[in-house]
Amino acid sequence: MTKLLLILSLFATVTTQAQVSSEPTNLVCVAKDNDGMRPFVIASRVGVQMKKSDTGFDTMEDCQSALTVARGIQFGSIVCSSRDLDGNNPWDLVFINNDGASQKISPSTTTSFAECLDLSKKMIPSFEKNSAVYCVSRDGDAMAPFYAVNMMVDIGSTIKMEQSTDSFQTLQECWAFLGEK
């Protein structure tokens, strides 16, 4: 009986750890037109099917860089993508649900791919709460003032945004408010 309880306890621990991972597992980069050439998009692999998201990258390397800093939450992943899907500035965050459907997260505009990658790296995801907290420009121009945003996703992949009432003159002040250094 003791061995059975120990085995069940270990199984529950392994299962819980596997379910709490905040890393996306089924996202890959592919050529949008299946020709191996640009533009490139992030696709969600579900079984043998590939569902292409509304993302856009000029190079396979940029697409793969976006995946390396993608943040996973319970119902999907948050990645960077060019706003106009052309691989050029400006850049936004995009939520890709576990079935591969995607939608832009607003507000989340950054002026460059490097800024978007940095935003994704600093984002504070909560797998258990299906949310992520980050700092962004209040006016969508990637300039001061900045404020904190809590993005929440429900089981139907509906995104709800909660914005802080305080604003900050620098991104560093905003991140400090969230407890990041």
Q: Note the pLDDT of residue 12.
A: 31
Question: Average pLDDT, stretch 4-15?
Answer: 31
Between CA 50 and CA 44 the distance in angstroms is 6
Tokens found for residue 53 = 């998201």
Instruction: Quote the pLDDT of residue 127.
Output: 81
- pLDDT band of 25, cuts 50, 70, 90: low
**Which residues lie below 8 Å from residue 39, measured CB to CB, with a gap of 6+?**
31, 32, 56, 57, 58, 85, 86, 87
Claim: this prediction has a pTM higher than 0.85: no
pLDDT digits (tens, 9 = 90+) for 89-136: 999 999 998 888 899 998 888 889 999 999 999 999 988 888 999 999
Q: What is the pLDDT of residue 113?
A: 95
